[in-house]
Amino acid sequence: MELTVLGQDEQPEVKSGCSAGSCGSTDDQLNHLPEEIRQKVHNHPCYSEEAHHYFARMHVAVAPACNIQCHYCNRKYDCANESRPGVVSELLTPDQAVKKTKAVAANIPQMTVLGIAGPGDPLANPERTFETFRRLSAEAPDIKLCVSTNGLALPDSVDELAKHNIDHVTITINCVDPEIGAKIYPWVFWNNKRIKGKKGAKILIEQQQKGLEMLVERGILVKVNSVMIPGINDEHLKEVSRIVKSKGAFLHNVMPLIAEAEHGTFYGVMGQRGPNSKELQALQDACAGDMNMMRHCRQCRADAVGLLGEDRGAEFTLDKIDQMEIDYDAAMVKRAKVHEAIAQELEAKQSAKVQSGIVNVQFGEPAKVYRPVLMAVATTGGGVINQHFGHAKEFLIYEASKDGVRFIGHRKTDLYCSGGDTCGDGETVLGMTIKALEGCEVVLCSKIGYEPWSQLEEAGIQPNGEHAMEAIEDGVLAVYKEMIENGQLDEEATTQEKITA
Amino acid sequence: MALKIIETCVNCWACEPLCPSNAIYEAKPHFLIDAKKCTECEGDYADTQCASICPIEGAILSSVGEPMNPPGSLTGIPPEKLAQAMAELQAH
């Protein structure tokens, strides 16, 4: 139940969040950004939806202290099976963090980004956080550095951040109204006092907004994260989105509240529910009118390693890193080649898209508009349908419609806990998967067993293994066209209308 | 007169840099307060600094052994509600 300092105990396997799936925006949405910003984010898995299929990130847990309390966080919690923000298994010193970063960068050349995200607030631990950045910017100059913060100490840290070449900052902003803030933040530590309630929330909100403005003034990219808490800030987040956009944040990431009684958080214990995927998508769509929305966030742990959606943290524990000999200069050469190859692949893909006109296709008779269809995809990365149904820990969700194919988000089959039968109610994995895919009509994968096939069909989800190894968008589009040709979307259009009516 | 850190401490480091008397030090299994150095912040701050940032209810005791942050005071979770939730989880 405590934050382990420096590998005192052998830690069990670390599962971390932001797995190979999603923490960013769709490439289509990035296309609206100025060239300068696109250059900065094109290989950042947490900022670019397209990049997250190819590039990896890691977090180093050097920042244990926090200066506020959020109702969705419990500082006592550390479960190795949990994949949620604020959870870590091994706290690192800056020296250990530098060593780990180099080890990961040498072994996973796709790694482009090093973030400090906790488990507390990075800027409430300025010495540890900035020492880590200072050393990495000198010793591993090919790695992008980023930081996420609750914003309370941000205005005081902006100059230091600018000094270390940190060009990406994420601020978690859940509200701009202290009345609402008081329902999310029970206290903040400010000017040597613990300040509770509305007064504390007001200080936090002011600091967040000031910090956002100061970062934008200095040309540092700002992403805003918001936790969607039904009944508390869900409607309000539309206003938050509008305000942060107008102040120059370039991306908004609305994430669902994670709240379970066993986490011991205020919301968990008090029975506050998180949003379902439909509610989350509706809010993301409502905010999208105002700004670039990020839909691929995996809400990863503060010590996650690898592609979003996967966690390779267990390969890089302190005792394992100690055994590794790292020649970082050689690693940088190799990394540059790998990044170049990925960049070429992405470019080729992009121009193929433009040529085939997938981006905006019309189907069937021009006058006829078919309803959109949600499809789930099993993938291990690379933007390809390449995973066995039974191996998928999460599915990427795409919507096919008259406007083409767009990425909507991801669904985890086991949510954020991978403890399995040992710490759940023993519901079958297949049952949980089918529940997670609610609303999807098709699931695309490389292969699938007989048993899950029939159960999926019974649940109204058509399994499809015919597009294995194809690009995701191509596969989804092909299936959508097939559904139109088979007349599957003709009659249902009316039933669908009835349902919504 | 001195405050005391007990075993529910989660080693988050938040208190350590705030202590005006440098009385707090890292130790295993958890941080400790040097009773000889602790002044309870008298003369430096109106509020005891360690107890004002500590996120864990009950982890810091006053000189008479009472929790500086009693159950429910930081999280807002009523103690009986927490006990009930934990009992329900145990029952499963």
**d(CA B36, nearest CA chain A) in Å:** 23
- Where residue A85 falls among pLDDT bands split at 50, 70, 90? low
pLDDT of A6 higher than 90: no
Residue type, A237: L
Q: Hey, are the CB atoms on A270 and B77 less than 8 Å from each other?
A: yes
Whether B22 contacts chain A with CB within 8 A: no
Say if strands A168-172 and A144-149 run parallel, antiparallel, or are unpaired.
Answer: parallel
pLDDT of B64 higher than 50: yes
Q: Which of B11, B18, B85 sits opposite A3 (nearest CB)?
A: B11
Q: Higher-confidence residue: A399 or A29?
A: A399
A367 vs A216 pLDDT, higher one: A216
Nearest CA to A22 among A395, A446, A348?
A: A395
Cα(first)–Cα(last) distance of chain A, in Å?
50
Confidence of residue A498 (pLDDT cuts 50, 70, 90): very low
User: Phi then psi for A494, rounded to 5 degrees?
Assistant: -70, -45
CB A251 within 8 A of CB A284: no
Place of tokens 């934008």: A216
B80 contact residues in A (CB cutoff 8 A) = none
Q: Indicate if the pLDDT at residue A249 is higher than 70.
A: yes
Residue of B75, B81, B92 to mutate, interface with A, max A Cβ within 10 Å: B75
Distances (CA, A) of A8 to A4, A106, A463: 7, 25, 47
Question: In whole angstroms, what is the distance from residue B55 CA to residue A91 CA?
Answer: 17
| Res A403 pLDDT > 90 | no
Nearest to A5 among B11, B74, B89 (CB): B11
**Chain A contact for B76, CB < 8 A?**
yes
* Mean pLDDT in residue range B62-86: 94
Task: Find the residue in B nearest to A66 (Cα).
Answer: B14
Right CATH number for B1-92 from 3.30.70.20, 3.40.50.2300, 3.40.50.2030, 3.40.50.1170? 3.30.70.20
Q: Is the dihedral of CA B14, B16, B19, B20 positive or negative?
A: negative
CA distances from A177 to A227, A233, A346 (A): 15, 10, 42
Cβ separation A64–B11 shorter than 8 A: yes
Whether the bond into B71 is cis, omega within 30 of 0: no
Residues of B in contact with A65 (CB under 8 A): 12-14, 53
HSE-up of residue A310 (Cα within 13 Å, Cβ side): 20
Across chain A, mean pLDDT equals 82
Per-residue tokens: A25: 């925006």
| Confidence grade of residue A273 (pLDDT, cut at 50, 70, 90) | very high
Read off the pLDDT band of A237 (50, 70, 90). very high
- The encoded tokens of residue A367 equal 């006058």
Contacts with A76 from chain B: Cβ below 8 Å? 8, 10, 56
For residue A496, the model assigns a pLDDT of 46
Q: Which fold has domain A360-500?
A: Nucleotidyltransferase; domain 5 (3.30.420)
Contact between chains at B12 and A64 (C-beta distance less than 8 A): yes
Q: What is the mean pLDDT of residues A305-326?
A: 82
Q: Nearest 5°: phi and psi at A408?
A: -110, -35
Cα–Cα distance, A464 to A470 (Å, whole number): 12
Q: Given the DSSP bridges, would you call strands A251-256 and A68-69 parallel, antiparallel or unpaired?
A: unpaired
Identify the H or E element spanning A492: helix A492-500
pLDDT of residue A5: 36
Please report the pLDDT score of residue A427 as a whole number.
60
Higher pLDDT, A180 or A344: A180
Shortest Cα distance from B29 to chain A (angstroms)?
A: 9
Instruction: Identify the residue among B53, B89, B90 best suited for mutation to test binding to A, counting A beta carbons within 10 A and taking the highest.
Output: B53
- Amino acid B21: pLDDT: 97
Q: Which of residues 35-74 of B touch A (CB under 8 A)?
A: 45-47, 49, 52-53, 55-56, 74
User: A194 vs B53: CB contact, 8 Å cut-off?
Assistant: yes
Determine which of A20-24, A96-100, A223-227, A355-359 has the lowest per-residue pLDDT on average.
A20-24
Percent of residues, chain A, with pLDDT higher than 70:
80
Instruction: Give the Cα separation of A60 and A184 in Å (integer).
Output: 26
What is the torsion angle, in degrees rounded to the nearest 10, for the CA atoms of residue A72, residue A78, residue A82 and residue A88?
100
Q: Does B7 touch chain A (CB under 8 A)?
A: no
Question: What are the domain boundaries of chain A?
Answer: 27-322, 360-500
**CB within 8 Å: B14 and A1:** no
What is the spatial distance between Cα A80 and Cα A90, in angstroms, rounded to a whole number? 10
A429 vs A4: which has the higher pLDDT: A429
Q: What is the pLDDT of residue A500?
A: 41
Phi first, then psi: what are they for A17, rounded to 5°? Answer: -65, -85
Our CA-based measurement puts residue A307 at a distance from the nearest CA of chain B, in whole angstroms, of: 28
Residue A66 C-alpha, separation from nearest chain B C-alpha, in angstroms:
6
Contact A125 B13 (CB under 8 A): yes
Whether A323 and A315 have beta carbons less than 8 Å apart is answered as no
What whole-number distance in Å separates Cα of residue A268 and Cα of residue A273? 8
CA distance A264 to chain B (A): 8
Beta carbons within 8 Å of A481's beta carbon, 6+ residues apart = A363
Which pLDDT value is given to residue A354?
A: 57
Indicate whether this complex's ipTM tops 0.90. yes
Could you give the CA distance from residue A215 to residue A221 in angstroms, rounded to a whole number? Answer: 7
Please state the rounded mean pLDDT for residues A77-93.
61
Q: How confident is the model at residue A140 (pLDDT cuts 50, 70, 90)?
A: very high
| Residue A499 confidence (pLDDT) | 43
Q: Which residues of A263-274 are buried (b: 16+ CB within 10 A; e: fewer)?
A: bbbbbbbbebeb
Question: What pLDDT score was predicted for residue A89?
Answer: 64
Nearest-neighbour CA in chain A from B80: distance (Å): 11
Q: Which residue of B has its CA nearest to A122?
A: B14
The strand pair at A193-196 and A187-190 is best described as antiparallel
What is the predicted pLDDT for the residue at A283?
A: 93
> Which of chain A's residues have a Cβ under 8 Å away from the Cβ of B60?
none
CB contact under 8 A, B55 and A186: no
Q: How far apart are CA B46 and CA B23, in angstroms?
A: 17
Q: Look up the CATH number of domain A27-322.
A: 3.20.20.70
Q: Is A77 on the interface with B (CB under 8 A)?
A: no
More confident residue, A24 or A313: A313
| Res A86: pLDDT | 54
Chain B residues near residue A424 by CB distance under 8 angstroms: none
Helix or strand or coil: residue A51?
A: helix
